[in-house]
Amino acid sequence: MSLDIRACDAAQLPMDLLLEADPHLPHVQAYLATGHCYHAQQNGVTVGAYVLQARSLGTLELMNIAVAPNCQALGIGTQLLQHALHSARQLGATRLEVATGSFGHQLTFYQRAGLRVYAVEPDYFLQHYPEPLFEQGLQHRDRLRLAIDFG
């Protein structure tokens, strides 16, 4: 099956899908208002999405990247991330940043694409999320910031 990834309006993105990657609704709503939104469809059904947001001159941040639970582990996330890197360049960015937890599959997912850790935000998830976030039986506390510079 072919994957069709296109820019879209924020209203076209399924909120339940975005909340898979970022479970705090106010955060998601805030970056949707000013973000560059993209959705991935297979046979007319949205199976993935991502949102880029300008951070500073030449820098975009990947605010959300999500794949429908029943479509995970099929390479869709990798295609979305590659598309996001390409889109960031097309939008004139010289750097793409992303923030994620300090452990879990997301960290290696971004590192495989060439992003590197440049900062740690201690206790970020404790201070900015109303409910504890757990993955693999561990509570997320610190947030890592990763980036790739386009040369």
3-state secondary structure the chain: CCCEEEEECHHHCCHHHHHHHCCCHHHHHHHHCCCEEEEEEECCEEEEEEEEEEEECCEEEEEEEEECHHHCCCCHHHHHHHHHHHHHHHCCCCEEEEEEECCCHHHHHHHHCCCEEEEEECCHHHHHCCCCCEECCEECCCEEEEEEECC
**Type of residue at 13:** L
Question: What's the CATH superfamily of 4-149?
Answer: Gcn5-related N-acetyltransferase (GNAT) (3.40.630.30)
* Closest by Cα among 143, 106, 105, 108 to 124: 143
Q: What pLDDT, on a 0 to 100 scale, did the predictor assign at position 138?
A: 86
* Closest by Cα among 73, 2, 7 to 39: 7
- pTM of this structure: 0.90
Q: What is the pLDDT along the chain (151 residues), one digit of tens a residue?
A: 579 999 999 999 999 999 998 888 999 999 999 999 999 999 999 999 999 999 999 999 999 999 999 999 899 999 999 999 999 999 999 999 999 988 888 899 999 999 999 999 998 888 888 888 888 888 889 999 999 999 7
Side-chain-side CA neighbours of 114 within 13 Å: the count stands at 10
Q: What pLDDT, on a 0 to 100 scale, did the predictor assign at position 126?
A: 85
Q: What pLDDT, on a 0 to 100 scale, did the predictor assign at position 102?
A: 82
Q: What pLDDT, on a 0 to 100 scale, did the predictor assign at position 151?
A: 76
93 Cβ contact partners less than 8 Å away, ≥ 6 residues apart: 58, 59, 60, 150
